[in-house]
Every structure is written in C-alpha cells, then in structure tokens.
C-alpha cells in the first residue's frame, strides 16, 4: 500500500531467480496480453470503424499501414501482433493444462514452455509465408 | 462456477469466489476458437481493399462470429488487464486505472458492435 515502510525487507523477486523457459513464457504471456489489449484491439477497432465509415476513412487506414514509410508500419505491427497472438495462444493452452494439475513436473514444465516458444515463432513464420509468398 | 470447498466452509461472505477466474478460462476457450477462425479468414481474403473487406464481413456467416469474437476478446482483456492493474497499482491510481479500463471496454465494444452492424446491414 501507499504507506509501506521502505526499510522493511522484500520477498524474493525476479532478480534472485535463475532464468528458465518457464519464467520467460510467463513474462511473455503478460507482455503479449497487455500488448494485444492496448495496441492490437485499438487497431482492430480502427479497421472496423474504417470499414463502417466508407471508402474515404478506409483509405486513411490503408495509408497508415501500407503507404506510410513504404508499408513498414503494416509489416512491423502485423508480424508483431501475430507473433504476440500465437505466443499468448500457445501459453494459454499450456495454462489450461496447468489448471488441470498437469505439467508441474520440472522436465515437462520446461519442455512445454519451450514448445510454446517454438509454436509461437513457427506459426508466425508459416502464417506470413502463406500470406506473403504462397498466396 | 462453484467449487466443492464452499460446501465445507459454508459459502463465506462473498458467496462465491471463482467468478473472475472461471470467466477468464471460459473466454480463453472461446477466444482460441474465434481467433483461429479470424486469422484463417484474414489469411484467405483475396485482397485487403475496401470493397473486398466490406464484402467479406457483410455476410452473416462472418459478421456473427466477428461479433462474438469482439465480445469474447473484450471480456477476456477486461479480466486480464484488471489483474495486471491490481499487481502494479495501489491506492487511488488503482481505482482510476480500473475505472478507465471499464470505460475502455464499454466504449470499445460500442464502436465494434456498431461498426460490424453497419458493415453487415449496408454501410
């Protein structure tokens, strides 16, 4: 609370633990969740409102993501958001297993965390390969 | 959702304590299905211009799942950001942040639902 005595000892925090994949996916889960809620959703709202607003307003959306800086913003935001989505999605499924009481053994916990990272990166690469190259 | 321990403890003052936790999991499941559907629809669109985009989501087959997606995702992010705010904000700033979160959720939903309805019913 606001009136906390700063001289009192703190409970062990991030700094004293040795980093492992389980900590990494935990931090990534929160980070990607906040990013999608605070950046991804406003962009989705802008896109929907631009469609509802008519060709003129849609043009503004297109300009920002595909024309400005040669379309760099569109690719940066698009790839970033799909990576965030697939990482959050993969770890979300892992969390449902954790809720059921599974994957708490050290080895399985580590392996499932690594699987989440592998899935997030692979799914993003496959997705953009399909959208950008195959199609 | 109620858990068995409530039978032992005799309800308690709040009568139930798993509402937030359970709805976070429930919307996680619906988000999983709806977002997979959404990224597939986006990937399969032949182009991303105004005419193609509005025609794609004018159909009820896509407008209705999109409506469900926005509601499910907003509910999920509302619950998730609440936990983040409660972890890092204390005192007055926590109250302000939670109020702003509620405003964001309701205003965002209104924008999304109005837009989807307009696209589907003739922009």
pLDDT bucket at A90, cuts 50 / 70 / 90: very high
The total of other beta-carbon atoms located within 10 Å of residue B31's CB is 21
Cβ atoms A84, A39 nearer than 8 A: no
Question: Is residue A13 a part of any domain in this protein?
Answer: no
Looking at residue A15, its pLDDT comes to 75
4-43 in chain A: CB under 8 A from chain B: 30, 33-34, 36-37, 41-42
C-alpha–C-alpha distance, residues B43 and A131, integer Å: 6
pLDDT bucket at A19, cuts 50 / 70 / 90: confident
User: Domains of chain B (ranges plus CATH)?
Assistant: 18-121 (1.20.1300.10)
ipTM here: 0.88
Looking at residue A135, its pLDDT comes to 74
Question: Is residue A5 a part of any domain in this protein?
Answer: no
The percentage of chain A sitting over the pLDDT mark of 70, rounded to a whole number, equals 96
A100-122: pLDDT as tens digits: 999 999 999 999 999 999 999 99
Looking at residue B8, its pLDDT comes to 59
CATH of the domain at A129: 1.20.1300.10
Q: Domain range for residue A102?
A: 21-134
- Rounded mean pLDDT of A35-40? 97
A95 touches chain B (CB under 8 A): yes
Measure CB to CB from residue A48 to each of B35, B81, B112 and give the nearest one. Answer: B112
In this predicted structure, the answer to whether residue A81 has a pLDDT above a threshold of 90 is yes
- Are A58 and B123 inside 8 Å of each other by CB? no
B32 touches chain A (CB under 8 A): yes
Question: Is residue A15 a part of any domain in this protein?
Answer: no
- Are B43 and A127 inside 8 Å of each other by CB? yes
Looking at the complex, report in whole angstroms how far the Cα of residue A48 sits from the nearest Cα belonging to chain B: 6
C-alpha–C-alpha distance, residues A84 and A94, integer Å: 15
- Are A52 and B118 inside 8 Å of each other by CB? yes
Question: Is residue A111 a part of any domain in this protein?
Answer: yes
A127 touches chain B (CB under 8 A): yes
Q: C-alpha angle with apex A37: B102 to B52, nearest 5 degrees?
A: 110
Q: What averages of pLDDT result for each successive group of 10 residues across chain B (123 residues)?
A: 62 69 95 98 95 95 97 97 95 96 98 97 75
Question: Is residue A10 a part of any domain in this protein?
Answer: no
Looking at residue A5, its pLDDT comes to 78
- Rounded mean pLDDT of A45-71? 95
Question: Is residue A41 a part of any domain in this protein?
Answer: yes
Number of domains making up chain A: 1
- Are B115 and A99 inside 8 Å of each other by CB? no
Question: Is residue A49 a part of any domain in this protein?
Answer: yes
A68 touches chain B (CB under 8 A): no
- Are B108 and A41 inside 8 Å of each other by CB? yes
Question: Is residue A8 a part of any domain in this protein?
Answer: no
Looking at residue B33, its pLDDT comes to 98
B53 touches chain A (CB under 8 A): yes
C-alpha–C-alpha distance, residues B111 and B109, integer Å: 5
C-alpha–C-alpha distance, residues B12 and B17, integer Å: 9
Looking at the complex, report in whole angstroms how far the Cα of residue A18 sits from the nearest Cα belonging to chain B: 22
B121 touches chain A (CB under 8 A): no
Q: Which residue has the higher pLDDT, A29 or A132?
A: A29
Measure CB to CB from residue B123 to each of A2, A51, A62 and give the nearest one. Answer: A51
Question: Cα separations (Å) of B74 from A46, A106, A135, B121?
Answer: 15, 34, 31, 23
């Amino acid at each position: 609370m606001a009136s906390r005595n700063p001289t009192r000892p703190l409970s062990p925090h991030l700094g004293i633990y040795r980093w492992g994949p389980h900590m990494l996916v935990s931090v990534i889960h929160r980070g990607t969740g906040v990013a999608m809620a605070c950046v991804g959703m406003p962009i989705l709202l802008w896109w929907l409102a631009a469609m509802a607003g008519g060709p003129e307003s849609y043009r503004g959306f297109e300009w920002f993501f595909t024309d400005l800086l040669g379309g760099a913003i569109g690719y940066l935001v698009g790839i970033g958001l799909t990576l965030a989505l697939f990482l959050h999605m993969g770890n979300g499924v892992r969390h449902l297993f954790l809720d059921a009481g599974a994957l708490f053994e050290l080895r399985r916990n580590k392996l499932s965390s690594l699987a989440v990272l592998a899935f997030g990166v692979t799914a993003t690469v496959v997705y953009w390969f399909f959208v950008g190259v195959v199609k | 959702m109620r858990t068995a321990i409530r039978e032992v403890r005799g309800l308690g003052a709040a009568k139930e304590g798993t509402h937030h936790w359970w709805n976070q999991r429930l919307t996680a499941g619906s988000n999983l299905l709806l977002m997979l559907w959404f990224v597939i629809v986006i990937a399969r669109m032949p182009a991303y211009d105004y005419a193609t985009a509005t025609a794609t989501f004018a159909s009820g087959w896509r407008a209705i799942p999109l409506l469900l997606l926005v509601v499910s995702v907003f509910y999920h992010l509302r619950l998730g950001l609440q936990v983040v705010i409660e972890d890092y904000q204390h005192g007055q700033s926590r109250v302000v942040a939670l109020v702003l979160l509620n405003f964001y959720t309701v205003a965002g939903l209104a924008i999304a639902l109005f837009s989807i309805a307009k696209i589907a019913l003739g922009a």
